[in-house]
Structure 1
Amino acid sequence: MTKNTTISVNRRIDIISAAIEVFAEIGYYRATTAKVAERAQISQPYIFRFFPTKEALLLEALEVSWTRILDAFRSVIHTVSSDQLEKELIEAYVQIMKSYQNETLLQMQAQTIKEDAIVEVMQKGYRNVQQLVVDAFKQAGIEKPYERTIIFLARGMLCNISMALHLPELMSNELEEI
């Protein structure tokens, strides 16, 4: 890889990281490429060298976030015993939420955007995660793998809400009776 190629790859990563932060903080519709450029400490026209539109930048940011989840889950699946699988997948997701909170917020926001390309990338992300988890649960011999996958995904969504709204009590295992 040449020095210029390395610089371009690094700049692309910087732009995506800045976009994730800006989109997560103020929302896709309020965000501008000028704000992303300012966060990345580059000129706005330089963004268009890599991404022709703001939507293309969002799509790439979402792909990055889904890839991170899939890679973390694959790592767990290939390194833990069957009896620890679900627990370790949950822990992997919790670590992603802690380390990449803006990506989680970005995904949550993207669920409400009705542009076809964004809906498609979100559908693909959820389908890939669902398939990966259900296949892992089947391989591990977990009873009712489809039902357990749905519960696992629902718990992940509840984790997202808990984190976004600063309501850790939503995730408490010891709910008091009302």
Structure 2
Amino acid sequence: MSAEERRESVIRAAITEFARGGYSATSTEVIARRVGVSQPYLFRLFPNKQAMFLAASERCLTDTRRVFADAAEGLEGEEAQSAMAGAYQRLIVEDPDRLLMQMQMYAAVAAAEAAGDHEFGESVRAGWLQMFDELTVAVGGDAEEATDFLAYGMLINTLTSLGFPVGHRIWSKFCEPPGPAA
């Protein structure tokens, strides 16, 4: 396996481990074990734990942006929004680590900011802003519609995080439950 392939497997493992344990409670040792490499080898691929977390965060946001872009391809307006919403709902229901990683990103940034580390949040905010900008384009250039779309997305995150099953009545009050993949 090349170093780039190994780096990729570390990022995937880091998403899983950080999603489940958070930044502070996840050791690099557990990530190394999941990948099947030594801890010193991890540090040949990434300079420190924070770099691993940021790589996992960036991948999580990149994958989410890709889900939105793929779903909206060739569509406009409400059709694009509906397709993106359904694709996102399927993503976080089928791969709960993606949602957990997002939640851990927000918590890690808040903790770092409270401790005076603003550089940590800058990277995560840059990825999130890129997602907002791409969503704004996808919904026709209307920042207010992109904001509404993301607000419903955060509601979906909350419902899913709290364990409301997709068919629960609360989903129908605010959004359509995810259907089968198109």
Which of 132, 137, 140 is the equivalent residue of 1:138? 140
Q: Does 1:39 align with 2:34?
A: yes
Q: Is the 8 A contact 2:13 2:35 kept in 1?
A: yes
2:154 is aligned, of 140, 157, 167, to 157
| Higher RCO (Cα < 8 Å, 6 or more apart) | 2
Query: CA shift at 1:11, angstroms?
Result: 0.9
Deviation at 1:110, TM superposition (A): 1.5
Equivalent positions of 1:1-178 (< 5 A) are 7-113=2-108, 114=112, 115-138=117-140, 145-168=142-165, 169=168, 171-174=170-173
Deviation at 1:165, TM superposition (A): 1.9
RMSD across aligned positions (CA): 2.0
- The alignment-based identity, stated in percent, is 28
Mapped contact 2:72–2:138 kept (Cα < 8 A): yes
Deviation at 1:83, TM superposition (A): 4.3
Give how far 1:78 is off. 2.5
Q: What amino acid is aligned across from residue 111 of structure 1 in structure 2?
A: Y
Q: Do the aligned residues in 1 keep the contact of 2:11 with 2:55 (CA within 8 Å)?
A: yes
SS at match of 1:80: coil
- Do the aligned partners of 1:158 and 1:171 also contact (CA within 8 Å) in 2? no
Q: How far, CA to CA, are the matches of 2:172 and 2:60 in structure 1?
A: 28
Residues 15 and 135 of structure 1: CA distance in aligned 2, closer, same or farther (over 3 Å): same
Pairwise CA distance, 1:64: 0.6
Q: Deviations over 1:112-170 (max 9, x none)?
A: 2224233112211221121111222226xxxxx33222111011111112222212348
State the alpha-carbon separation in 2 of the partners of residues 166 and 66 from structure 1.
22
Displacement of 1:29 after TM fit?
Answer: 0.1
Matched-pair contact (CA < 8 Å) for 1:20–1:103: yes
TM-score, normalisation: structure 1: 0.83
SS at match of 1:35: helix
Question: TM-score, normalization: structure 2?
Answer: 0.81
- Per-residue Cα deviation, 1:21-46 (whole angstroms, up to 9, x for no partner): 11111111011111111111111111
User: CA 1:152 to 1:11, structure 2 compared with 1: closer, same or farther past 3 Å?
Assistant: same
Tell me, in whole angstroms, the C-alpha distance in 1 between the residues paired with 2:34 and 2:13. Answer: 6
Question: Distance in 2 between the 1:119 and 1:24 partners?
Answer: 17
Shift of 1:101: 2.0
- 2:177 corresponds to: none
Alpha-carbon distance in structure 2 between the residues aligned to 1:93 and 1:164: 14
Count matched residues. 165
Q: How many angstroms apart in 2 are the aligned matches of 1:59 and 1:101?
A: 19
Corresponding position of 2:180 = none
Cα distance between partner residues in 1 of 2:34 and 2:53: 15
Task: Report Cα offsets for 1:5-30 as digits up to 9, x if no partner.
Answer: x5222211111111111111111101
